[in-house]
Amino acid sequence: MRTVLVTGTGGAGRTTVAAATALAAAREGRRTLLLTADPDGTPEALLGIGALRPAQGPAADRLPWSVPVQVTPGLWAARIVTDHWFRDELTALQERGRGALDMVGATPLDGEELAALPGMDSFALLRALRMAQAAPPGTGWDVLVVDMPPAPETVGLLALPGQLRRYLRRLLPAERQAARALRPMLAQLAGVPMPTQKLYETAERWEGELAAVQDVIDSEATTVRLVVDPGPLADRALRTARAGLALHGCRVEAVIANRLLPAATADPWLAALSGQQQAALKELYEQWAPAVPVRELPHLGRDPQGLGDRPAGDAGGGPDPEGAGAARPAGLDALAEAVGAPPPLPDRPAADPWTVEDRLADDGILLWRLPLPGADRDTLALVRRGDELIVTVGAFHRVLTLPSALRRCTVSGAGLRDGSLQVRFTPDPDLWPRGF
């Protein structure tokens, strides 16, 4: 399934661009689901539909999103329902642990008294990504467009599966689980209780779920659209977002410059704003194009409301078709063509962006290239820890496992050149195979 994650700077119009992207995909005849994490009624107002409501029925059968509402042929919309998902998950967890709770005399919590804890939005969204991909062939969607949080939160969210999997591997290493059969004897010898079977089973289940989500993120068919309201303050935020996404291997498909004012206007106030936007737009093209397309969306003069099918040549809503003389609200159709549908991509693991260059013959080193466009030298940090390289770019952080050849080397230097972090490794004579 083709997945498009729409994020960007705060207040840039992410929800509008996500809705226009989904509409453009549906217009091409592809079954499209627009999934939003926006808790208020903005998506409904944009699409001109009623409230998105959670599904009813047994908790085990419910998905982490509301009942999909068909907006137009080929396009459905739904909202991630964090509260309901959290109650269902915690209720199910209590059922699985009922025996242990009864032993300690604990009173289970009722579903009515449960409320989602801070941070549960991220887990619900990741679960939704996984479940959307798990639909049987022929019953799901061709395209999933997700209205994501602002870019810094999105980067942290996409990094979460990898971080949690690393924690699980450190706390409950798979190679040590073979000792589970010896647990009763070890408990007698040590005089302390050993971890229970349920602990390992839970860890295995979490590992499976996190790996499935990671597969979605790492798929070539999953890309990011970055939305920006061009201006001097947005440029810095977009650079930081670009570096964070690159650090976690997320592929940016397009940059959407939203709410562009007319370049030619007689109003001096509007002319000043437009000039500021055009200067920022030029910077966007210099930084991103041609590797990443920059798409321009016009300012409609008002927020879109509904699809707003327009007569040919009507660019901004036009007069009321009933002849009342009132301007008709501009709709998403005014933006869908400009934003464009996501191009088809194969659903397979994306190529590894990190490459090792062999310079042993000429310079006596191996060079590990880590593409980090947008990274700032002053906010970049590296730490070698055993067989891992810890890379920090501003507020973003990732632990990378070294390729096998580099584990037998020492770090001899690093530099940031042309948007790529180049780390130099020198073979360690005590570890490097003789004759190489």
Total structural domains in the chain?
2
Q: How confident is the model at residue 189 (pLDDT cuts 50, 70, 90)?
A: low
Distance CA 133, CA 216 (A): 8
State mean pLDDT over 37-44: 82
CATH number at residue 161: 3.40.50.300
Of 291, 308, 339, which residue sits at a domain end? 339
pTM of the entire predicted model: 0.85
Asked if 383 and 411 touch (Cβ cutoff 8 Å), the reply is no
Q: Which tokens is 14 given? A: 């992410």
Report whether pLDDT(216) > 90.
Answer: yes
User: Residue 128: in which H helix or E strand, if any?
Assistant: helix 120-133
CATH number at residue 372: 2.60.40.790
Q: Quick check: is 349 in a domain?
A: no
Distance CA 64, CA 318 (A): 40
Q: Which tokens is 273 given? A: 């704003």
Q: Quick check: is 432 in a domain?
A: no
Asked if 85 and 124 touch (Cβ cutoff 8 Å), the reply is yes
Both 214 and 139 in one domain: the answer is yes
Both 269 and 245 in one domain: the answer is yes
> What tens digit of pLDDT does each residue of 336-353 get?
999 999 999 999 999 988
Q: Quick check: is 183 in a domain?
A: yes
Mean pLDDT (the chain, rounded): 82
Both 181 and 299 in one domain: the answer is yes
Both 166 and 115 in one domain: the answer is yes
**CA–CA distance from 347 to each of 143, 212, 344, 407 (Å)?**
11, 13, 9, 32
Q: Quick check: is 244 in a domain?
A: yes
Q: State the residue range of the domain holding 308.
A: 2-339
State mean pLDDT over 362-377: 91
State mean pLDDT over 129-151: 85
Report whether pLDDT(406) > 90.
Answer: yes
Number of residues written out for the chain? 436
Q: Quick check: is 435 in a domain?
A: no
Q: Quick check: is 413 in a domain?
A: yes
Q: Which tokens is 53 given? A: 């409501």
Q: How confident is the model at residue 81 (pLDDT cuts 50, 70, 90)?
A: confident
Of 288, 307, 339, which residue sits at a domain end? 339
Both 129 and 212 in one domain: the answer is yes
Q: How confident is the model at residue 314 (pLDDT cuts 50, 70, 90)?
A: very low
| Backbone torsions φ then ψ of 366, nearest 5 degrees | -115, 135
Of 278, 308, 339, which residue sits at a domain end? 339
Q: Quick check: is 346 in a domain?
A: no
Q: Which tokens is 304 given? A: 């879109």
Asked if 15 and 23 touch (Cβ cutoff 8 Å), the reply is no
Both 147 and 205 in one domain: the answer is yes
Q: Quick check: is 179 in a domain?
A: yes
Both 403 and 258 in one domain: the answer is no
The residue among 22 and 315 whose pLDDT is bigger is 22
In this prediction, what percent of the chain has a pLDDT beyond 90?
44
Both 107 and 185 in one domain: the answer is yes
State mean pLDDT over 54-81: 81
Asked if 206 and 164 touch (Cβ cutoff 8 Å), the reply is yes
Both 417 and 305 in one domain: the answer is no
**CA–CA distance from 385 to each of 15, 241, 348, 396 (Å)?**
41, 26, 31, 18
Both 185 and 51 in one domain: the answer is yes
Asked if 218 and 349 touch (Cβ cutoff 8 Å), the reply is yes
Report whether pLDDT(102) > 90.
Answer: no
Both 405 and 284 in one domain: the answer is no
Both 299 and 361 in one domain: the answer is no
